[in-house]
Amino acid sequence: MPKSLAKSLSESDTSRLIEMAWEDRTPFDAIEKSFGLSESQVIELMRSQLKRSSFELWRKRVTGRATKHSALRSKEVQRAYCPTQYKSK
């Protein structure tokens, strides 16, 4: 499944998805809305695209993180990223 999943996305989409998955403030719900992939599918894709040590570091980082799971987030947070994150240079 991960290989076919990665093949169904363009290289730039796969790169952006991985970037979003690494971002602390981007919840899995935002990734699902953008790419149509569930949290478990994102995990499979990350496992297939990253080196083992990088994947394990990422999993440790996102497991139970409130900012990655909308249900654990404060209701006051209405954005998926830091307001200064995408400022034009």
Tens-digit pLDDT profile for the chain (89 aa)? 455 665 688 899 999 999 999 988 888 888 998 899 999 999 999 999 999 999 999 999 888 777 676 665 566 656 555 555 555 54
Cα-Cα end-to-end distance for the chain? 39
Residue 82 domain flag: no
| Structural domain includes residue 8 | yes
- Give the residue ranges of DSSP H helices in 1-89: 2-8, 11-22, 28-35, 39-49, 52-62
In a domain, 83, yes or no: no
53 assigned to some structural domain: yes
CA 1/CA 59 separation, integer angstroms:
19
| pTM score | 0.70
The total number of structural domains in the chain stands at 1
- Encoding tokens for residue 62? 């996102």
On whether residue 38 sits in a domain, the answer given is: yes
45 lies in a domain? yes
Please check whether residue 80 lies inside any domain of the structure: no
**Domain residues for 40?**
2-69
- Tell which phi-psi region holds residue 27, choosing left (phi > 0), alpha (psi between -120 and 50) or beta: beta
Tell me which residue of 23, 14, 60 sits closest to 41, measured CA to CA: 14
